[in-house]
Structure 1
């Protein structure tokens, strides 16, 4: 199955103070291609899967840079368009001594907010696919409506839908409504991935268990919760468990969650051909555990390098072989 990631591609601007692990009065920023959905698409492509990005970039130097980077790593840009009204968004990133990132988004009039329902029409078909989207696609009324309409259509055609909550308050103009909107969307998909920190922010620590139970009762097949370097927890209607994250030295955690999602969806897409096989697959503890094992290795590899696209692993990196392949030209 092919994987279609939906949403933003943007420019990550990483401070030289982060890259050099020190302070300097002559701070400069290095640009990296990024954006959570774009990272997922690249993660799948670098692992050897067939992936697409559906989104919009600005008709500016950054937009062209992003499209070139996506193509270089093997992502199909058939569903990527140029916004005639918005600019490519920027994210300035600072890192602490543990590699944890802090974002400062410049996304006023961002190109990715110009995604409309008509942009989905080329993707709809009777052929099921794996769909990946983040909560940024719910962050304003226009995106929310077209995303929910698209989720309905994808469900009708038998696609497998994954929602990575990936909550970024800066994207939300009415953040007090985010929890209800995200939870409602989560009930319409097959897989939900979130970080523990996001769930605490949105629902409160005492409500996490109840929220997960509610999603499962509404028909979500799998909920996965990451927690930095701690174990991943997972819940289905048939079983639940935890899986330890590999120990590694983090230098930049920017795309760790996206690498996890990309790795998981790559395995899912390789091992399934329809929703009927998926429902059997997700009910099998060993299948889910092996996919999570693979996904955690993808995340662990990514945080050992700077940048997003560049740091995402190839399949050989996860297999442990000392082989490095250059991006496709």
Structure 2
């Protein structure tokens, strides 16, 4: 049995090799496989917890490399949807001289909704995998796009119906969204599905205008833990 199912984006982070240099001036980048849910799935297997990854990945060289990384960590890939003709996303990440990151775009003129991770289809979700898990772990980036938002919502509904605990990492990344106020509204609504919530102080300020944990818990009484 797969103990934890991670659903969300699988992509590459293209990280600047030149801290403190502006995006337009960076000359070299290094690609790292990522996407928070994919990273969590790999980390869990390293700790001895069985995991699966559910997400949409391009049927391209980058997608194949990402799948190989997940496979090498013994992550269950039965929930992966391969999307032909739509590229796996690469996120440009710049760093200041202190190492703090800025997510600066996608390295092409393609609109944000034209990458494979946005195409996760609810019709092809691995229902048995989700229903038999102990935890469903996700972020909020899939909520930025209609098709993947519908798939994620269906997966969380299925988890709730089946008694699977839902873990949500806010993981706010403005570059994925076209409207910050819409993002806030959508994310706040979906947090009512969470049994466990992970967020930073800055994300708490942005979403709630407060870092008070008691206030957050009162707003979302279903929560068992806030990290």
If the length of structure 1 is used for normalisation, what is the TM-score?
0.61
Structure 2 unaligned segments of length 5 or more: list them: 107-111
Paired residue for 2:195? 190
Runs of 4+ in 1 over 6 A off after TM superposition: none
Larger radius of gyration: 1
Please, which of 162, 165, 170 is the counterpart of residue 170 of structure 2? 165
SS of the aligned residue for 1:132 comes to: strand
Give how far 1:13 is off. Answer: 1.1
Paired residue for 1:149? 154
Please, which of 176, 179, 190 is the counterpart of residue 174 of structure 1? 179
Paired with 2:127 and 2:156, the residues of 1 have a C-alpha distance of: 15
Give how far 1:105 is off. Answer: 2.9
Give how far 1:149 is off. Answer: 2.3
If the length of structure 2 is used for normalisation, what is the TM-score?
0.86
SS of the aligned residue for 2:71 comes to: helix
Paired with 1:91 and 1:113, the residues of 2 have a C-alpha distance of: 14
- Give the conservation status (yes or no) of the 8 Å contact 1:10–1:35: yes
- Give the conservation status (yes or no) of the 8 Å contact 1:85–1:109: no
- Give the conservation status (yes or no) of the 8 Å contact 1:178–1:202: no
Give how far 1:99 is off. Answer: 2.0
Give how far 1:168 is off. Answer: 1.0
Instruction: Establish whether residue 222 from structure 1 lines up as the match of residue 225 from structure 2.
Output: yes
Paired with 1:51 and 1:79, the residues of 2 have a C-alpha distance of: 11
Paired residue for 1:13? 14
Paired with 2:97 and 2:58, the residues of 1 have a C-alpha distance of: 33
CA RMSD after TM alignment: 2.4
Paired residue for 2:109? none
Instruction: Establish whether residue 84 from structure 1 lines up as the match of residue 84 from structure 2.
Output: yes
Give how far 1:85 is off. Answer: 4.5
- Give the conservation status (yes or no) of the 8 Å contact 2:7–2:152: no
